[in-house]
Structure 1
Amino acid sequence: MRNEAVAEIGGRRVILMDSISLIGEGDAGAVIVCGSHGGAISGAFAALHPPSLVVFNDAGGGKAGAGRASIAMLDARGIACATVSHMTARIGDAEDAWLNGTISAVGKAAEKAGVRTGQSVRQAAEALAPKR
């Protein structure tokens, strides 16, 4: 299962995790791109070691928006969160999200940082870089 840093943008590591359950203390403050769905349990894992931004797969929305439930949960904690469309990236494949994912939903904290729907995941990560 993938858990590797692939870039540094604006002084933050970009880490690909096929499962958010792999998050650890050393990942706090990083940009996490994961293959996990954006359900509540995924948000709970991300909150353990708060990243600067975490991107999940929307899993097609799910029943009652369950595939994006982590967005509101993490927003309440001031953690930037977004999802990629399941039509642009495979669920469980962080590399596919990084290379091909398009942002489908954005929380308020992520939006405040400049993350927008329709962006690539790289563009979302770049939005968090300090402006010069």
Structure 2
Amino acid sequence: MNRPLRLVDSITELRPGADTGCLAVSGSHGGISSAHYALAAQPMLAVFNDAGVGKDVAGLAALPFLQRHGIAACTVAHTSARIGEARSTLHDGVVSHCNAQALSLGIEPGQACAALIRQLQGSGG
């Protein structure tokens, strides 16, 4: 099954119900507020920007939160992709952090975002 790819500059653009099971590539930071929008939409994978990780690792808070809900999530390095631009996340982004669910899909730090999306679409996820 070829998972639909949703490119959204803001994770708030995901549609609960309509985007369930999609591969969501966003320009949003990986903070907890973003995590709640992803949880509502239930994508198979949510990709965020690590936003420089931030104080108390706030830029990665979505990863463990979504892990607890069975959703794969990862971030791309803020030095590799522009924050707020999903196309930059997809085409320029390099994975910086992953939750265990993402690791189980074969996603790992250092991987190009475009390559991981091709991998997941080719395997049927």
**CA–CA separation in structure 1 for the residues paired with 2:19 and 2:114:** 18
TM-score by length of 2: 0.93
Give deviations 1:63-97, integer Å, cap 9, x for gaps: 01100100000000110000000000010000001
For structure 1, which runs of at least 5 residues remain unmatched after alignment?
A: 1-9
For structure 2, which runs of at least 5 residues remain unmatched after alignment?
A: none
Number of residue-to-residue matches in the alignment: 122
**CA–CA separation in structure 2 for the residues paired with 1:31 and 1:91:** 18
**CA–CA separation in structure 2 for the residues paired with 1:76 and 1:107:** 10
**CA–CA separation in structure 2 for the residues paired with 1:45 and 1:59:** 17
Give the structure with the higher percent strand: 1
**CA–CA separation in structure 2 for the residues paired with 1:33 and 1:107:** 15
Q: Which has the higher contact order (CA 8 A, sep 6+)?
A: 2
1:90 pairs, out of 58, 61, 82, with 82
Is the contact made by 1:113 and 1:127 (CA closer than 8 Å) also made in structure 2?
Answer: no
1:117 pairs, out of 109, 119, 125, with 109
Is the contact made by 1:102 and 1:118 (CA closer than 8 Å) also made in structure 2?
Answer: yes
TM-score by length of 1: 0.88
Give how far 1:127 is off: 3.8
SS in 2 for 1:60: coil
Aligned pairs (5 A) from 1:65-84: 65-84=57-76
**CA–CA separation in structure 2 for the residues paired with 1:76 and 1:125:** 22
Give how far 1:13 is off: 1.1
Give how far 1:124 is off: 1.9
Segments of 4+ moved more than 6 angstroms: none
**CA–CA separation in structure 2 for the residues paired with 1:104 and 1:22:** 23
**CA–CA separation in structure 2 for the residues paired with 1:94 and 1:76:** 25
Is 1:33 aligned with 2:25? yes
- Aligned-residue Cα RMSD (Å) equals 1.2
**Percent identity over paired residues:** 39
Query: In structure 2, what is the equivalent of residue 17 of structure 1?
Result: 8
